[in-house]
Amino acid sequence: MSDETRADRLLCDRVAVVTGGGGGIGAATARLFAGQGAHVVIVDVDAALAARTVDDIAESGGSAVAVVSDVRDAAAVDDLARSVLDRYGRVDVLVNNVGHWLRHPGEFVDTDPRFWDELYRINLHHVFLVTHAFLPAMVARRAGAIVNVSSVEGLRGYPEDPVYAAFKAAVIQFTRSLAVQVGGRGVRVNGIAPDVTESLQVPYSQWLSADEQAQWPQWVPVGRMGVPEDQARVILFLASDLSAFVTGHTVPTDGGTGAAGGWYRSSRRPDREWTNRPVAP
């Protein structure tokens, strides 16, 4: 690859930290970043998963290292930041991708406050910890982009788990507020809010029957389930200079489900294309 071609890549020689980068959206993001010239630090609790993604990137000629770390732990995050800054001297992009709904909790009145704390640590607290650890280096250089991964459940009512939804909504508000605070210091902060995306935590292809999978054209306006690469491409946009004048926003990467607002394509009503009836659309 010529120097001219290399320089044309969107993240040429930038240092990018991706938490939860071993699989799913995180791995897709790491691979895409590396393909665009970034030196990617893949952070994951699963050593084998992280190593596999590093190997994939290396085989494609990219640059990546794996760091096994639990970003819910403050001491581990401090060690992570120290190791990255010692190795590269800077961080240009941070993707706070870790998150999980953990398990179906049942009714809120029946949940245990200890479960709320688990949800807090994996969906919100680590965003604070990791951002707090890397932000000073960005501010010092007056350059940096942070992308937080929230969820569609942070934008709408989520009756299956109001606590999870509250933390995902908090990620969006943190994104908005921090962006305003540090915008004059050269750091941009944005986010995405995925829906209906195949991932490690939400393996739709395993959960849905063939009949249910055939309903994607009715359930999602774009007509299909999302894949991790769909999310990664938006993250790349927000991390790169293509979005140099964008900060404080969370992009609903949902295939149009949010815009549809509960309306579905109808397969059984020849007189009307759309219905808001949830049974047998």
Residues with active-site annotation: 164
- Quote the CA–CA distance of 101 and 111 in Å, as a whole number: 14
| Contact status, residue 11 vs residue 240, Cβ threshold 8 Å | yes
CA 235 – CA 29 distance, rounded (Å) = 7
Closest CA to 44 of 14, 74, 15, 24: 24
Cross-strand bridge partners of residue 43: 19, 67
Pairwise CA distance, residues 121 & 24, whole Å: 20
**Which residue's structure tokens are 């359930």?**
219
Any idea which residue has 């403050």 for tokens?
A: 74
The alpha carbons of the chain give a radius of gyration, in whole angstroms, of: 19
**Are 17 and 84 spatial neighbours (Cβ–Cβ below 8 Å)?**
yes
The span from the CA of 51 to the CA of 68, in Å, is 9
Q: Which amino acid is at 184?
A: G
168 φ, ψ (degrees, to nearest 5): -65, -35
Which SS3 state, helix, strand or coil, does residue 275 take?
Answer: strand
Length of the chain: 281
Contact status, residue 253 vs residue 195, Cβ threshold 8 Å? yes
Q: Residue 205: which H helix or E strand, with range?
A: helix 204-207
E strand or H helix at 67 = strand 63-68
